[in-house]
Structure 1
């Protein structure tokens, strides 16, 4: 188990630490807990005491942490806690990402014992399947091991196998980046994605570099740098297609198409409707060539996934009606063949669209359906929690009973 880096800090400094981890300004944080920015600043500097337990609980709820962490103690890990990823496991992932195994010999540090390369490959394949099943709790625990052992596997691999080991390590970093972004840890997601690109470059796989680029761009979007994410996706998409030659295969087309889709999402977050539409149209043309039912380089790219991104982009643009219309036109059979993570993620997106047009009952129904398809996509994602609370607040008591029960189970306030 990792050591909580905040355990020796004063309580105000711990509040500041977790606020910054959630990328909140003092003003945004103050608004969410119903206090002034001056009050927050005094708490964080230790000028004012934080001695009301009710206020401490409000702060913990907003920061999505266990109140015990704010008090400098390890949280009590009940059996229910193991249904999702807790802060202790996130800190273990952080520590694993911050290790530099190649420096071990210089400082006589105890080396990590690598696992055989074939065993490492099987573990990485299992991690992908676990991610696509949205089983984030099990995945977090396996990622801690893979992140620690992966660099040693690459370091110890024989020369003919080093590129394979580097590519596998890039995949581990990519999975970690995607999970951390879902958990509301954009800075860590960016670090993992950056490591993924470096490893993919050592592995000399342009398509793996392309998928790693989407992780970097998604982390940038979560950090509020959507314009940089848009430029990055477009530049690398063009390079991937150019390297594919006159007749790129389905894998190259899938990675190129996925970069276009992530570029469309970045354009939507920038409020750039024309660019988002153009990128989605281009992705449509590529998807028609690839078809549905494939998962090249873990992209799930095809016409149905393009439709999912079209709906998500519409939501980001505030076009709830467009998102809903896109959703209802999706072929149910093709949608059912997508991995659970993709389907549940889409339900959360479209629930936001229904909420935007005032159909809170349907929004609630889709959130409940997302919880049925992939329970941890709801339980573990701060975004899902925000959507549930927003639907409950706007529906004014008319929300579906299963959604109310879900909110109570997650201890969410309307």
Structure 2
């Protein structure tokens, strides 16, 4: 496009305007600006999935308030979106109720068979919350702040190197703590682990192995800081993981670092770059799959991550095809496992299917997929907490607040840190507090305090 022309002056926009296709106008201007769906969502106050549906014509775009917000956010002349040039009075618009653009089976509240599946796992949690869950005690020194200082300050120079075998054990222990959903404990361990890994690399002759383990430590740090919503640290640690991994001779370590970097890219609005990186890594792994379950597990995890990235970007076709490939890889693996700490297998892919459906705005589908998984069969607390978090998010968007709250309590049961640190959980909790049915959710105020949603 000619840089001297406004984004809305393109032929594509003119054609869409003549056809009255407001969604196509928004998509064309957003991409020409350029803005990601995530960035536009922040500007206008709507969810990524809602904007994706609006752009693709899956949801009618005729609400005047929505059109006006998009017009302002993208600097589109109001008349192109069928609006008058007169500004509307400033009002606080109610949160739009999400629509489910799939054919739903009978509602779980009216179908007794469906009530005995997913909702059976939620029974009693609201009542239990009245008794209260003990508020986790805070350490005198905030481990998250300590981790931030350790990663941003120059490396500790008096760290003691260890053998490769000892370092491998320490890295594995830290990864296990993370998978147990104990993020505070992982944050406490990581500064010393990274310092030890750096000292070991400096002193050990086996540089490739030392670099691989240092990359694993940084990859874990990136995954943790993503959980904690520390974007600057996630970017920093993922970049360091990439550098160390490329100095190792381990393809799987490199693939894990690439995945961590791709997740950071996606979360910072660079979905296309993330997909290119994952695709090239998948292509490098494909000829090596005969080497065993570790390669297949890392390969399947990359496919799952790519499917979710496509879903977040509103690319429904790619999300579906990549999910199908991940399912095929899980079937080939044969059973759930935790090779290379991937937690990959049929259940693991099922968890991603929930996330993909939710990201696409198919909340009914997300719940249907969730009902096919027995949460008690998910062995890792971090994954079990993520399962319940996705279920809570889907029910929340589906305007079922009480179901959403019960799922949040289940997520807290799996991992207190999952609900204590995750921004989406806090946002849902804040919304529940404001819902007219809040009085029917016993213990909600106490839960909100435990999660930090309220002081």
> Same-fold call, TM > 0.5?
yes
**1-structure distance, mates of 2:369, 2:435:** 23
State the match for 2:340 in structure 1. Answer: 297
1:231 to partner: Cα distance: 2.1
Output one character per residue of 1:70-128: Cα deviation in whole Å (capped at 9) or x when no partner: xxxxxxxx9833399555224323325x54x8xxxxxxxx5543234333222111101
Structure 1 pair 368–277 and aligned structure 2 pair: CA distance change class (3 A): same
Where do 5+ consecutive residues of structure 1 fail to align?
1-23, 32-77, 102-109
State the match for 1:47 in structure 2. Answer: none
**2-structure distance, mates of 1:142, 1:314:** 35
**1-structure distance, mates of 2:270, 2:238:** 15
Query: CA contact under 8 A between 1:132 and 1:342: conserved in structure 2?
Result: yes
**2-structure distance, mates of 1:241, 1:191:** 29
Output one character per residue of 1:192-216: Cα deviation in whole Å (capped at 9) or x when no partner: 1222122222221111111111111
Q: Any idea what SS the aligned residue of 2:330 has? A: helix
State the match for 2:104 in structure 1. Answer: none
**1-structure distance, mates of 2:434, 2:278:** 36
State the match for 2:192 in structure 1. Answer: 145
Q: Any idea what SS the aligned residue of 1:82 has? A: coil
Quick one: which of 141, 148, 162 aligns to 1:91?
Answer: 148
Quick one: which of 359, 380, 391 aligns to 1:316?
Answer: 359
Structure number with greater CO (CA < 8 Å, separation at least 6) is 2
Using the TM superposition, name which of 161-170 and 267-276 deviates more: 161-170
State the match for 2:234 in structure 1. Answer: 189
**2-structure distance, mates of 1:112, 1:141:** 16
1:313 to partner: Cα distance: 1.2
**2-structure distance, mates of 1:283, 1:224:** 24
Q: Any idea what SS the aligned residue of 1:175 has? A: helix
Structure 1 pair 395–372 and aligned structure 2 pair: CA distance change class (3 A): farther
> TM-score, structure 1 length as denominator?
0.73
State the match for 1:176 in structure 2. Answer: 221
Using the TM superposition, name which of 384-393 and 181-190 deviates more: 384-393
Structure 1 pair 157–359 and aligned structure 2 pair: CA distance change class (3 A): same
Structure 1 pair 294–408 and aligned structure 2 pair: CA distance change class (3 A): same
**1-structure distance, mates of 2:388, 2:436:** 18
Query: CA contact under 8 A between 1:392 and 1:399: conserved in structure 2?
Result: no
Quick one: which of 418, 424, 436 aligns to 1:383?
Answer: 424
The answer to whether 1:212 aligns with 2:257 is yes
> TM-score, structure 2 length as denominator?
0.67
> How well do the aligned residues superpose, as a CA RMSD in angstroms?
2.8
Q: Any idea what SS the aligned residue of 1:203 has? A: coil
Query: CA contact under 8 A between 1:211 and 1:297: conserved in structure 2?
Result: no
Quick one: which of 376, 381, 390 aligns to 1:340?
Answer: 381
The answer to whether 1:359 aligns with 2:400 is yes
Quick one: which of 290, 305, 310 aligns to 1:267?
Answer: 310
**1-structure distance, mates of 2:291, 2:159:** 40
More helix by share: 1
**2-structure distance, mates of 1:199, 1:90:** 19
Structure 1 pair 132–85 and aligned structure 2 pair: CA distance change class (3 A): farther
**2-structure distance, mates of 1:179, 1:395:** 35
Using the TM superposition, name which of 403-412 and 272-281 deviates more: 403-412
1:397 to partner: Cα distance: 1.7
The answer to whether 1:409 aligns with 2:454 is no
Structure 1 pair 408–261 and aligned structure 2 pair: CA distance change class (3 A): same
Output one character per residue of 1:21-45: Cα deviation in whole Å (capped at 9) or x when no partner: xxx99x96999xxxxxxxxxxxxxx
Output one character per residue of 1:259-290: Cα deviation in whole Å (capped at 9) or x when no partner: 11110111011100110000000100010011
Query: CA contact under 8 A between 1:230 and 1:266: conserved in structure 2?
Result: yes
State the match for 1:59 in structure 2. Answer: none
Q: Any idea what SS the aligned residue of 1:338 has? A: coil
Query: CA contact under 8 A between 1:83 and 1:137: conserved in structure 2?
Result: no
The answer to whether 1:228 aligns with 2:273 is yes
State the match for 2:415 in structure 1. Answer: 374
**1-structure distance, mates of 2:433, 2:254:** 41
Query: CA contact under 8 A between 1:220 and 1:226: conserved in structure 2?
Result: yes
Which of the pair has more CA radius of gyration?
2
Structure 1 pair 85–302 and aligned structure 2 pair: CA distance change class (3 A): farther
1:312 to partner: Cα distance: 0.5
Structure 1 pair 212–337 and aligned structure 2 pair: CA distance change class (3 A): same
Aligned residues: 329
Q: Any idea what SS the aligned residue of 1:211 has? A: helix
1:220 to partner: Cα distance: 1.1
Structure 1 pair 393–273 and aligned structure 2 pair: CA distance change class (3 A): farther
Query: CA contact under 8 A between 2:419 and 2:451: conserved in structure 1?
Result: no
Counterparts of residues 25-64 of structure 1 (less than 5 Å): none
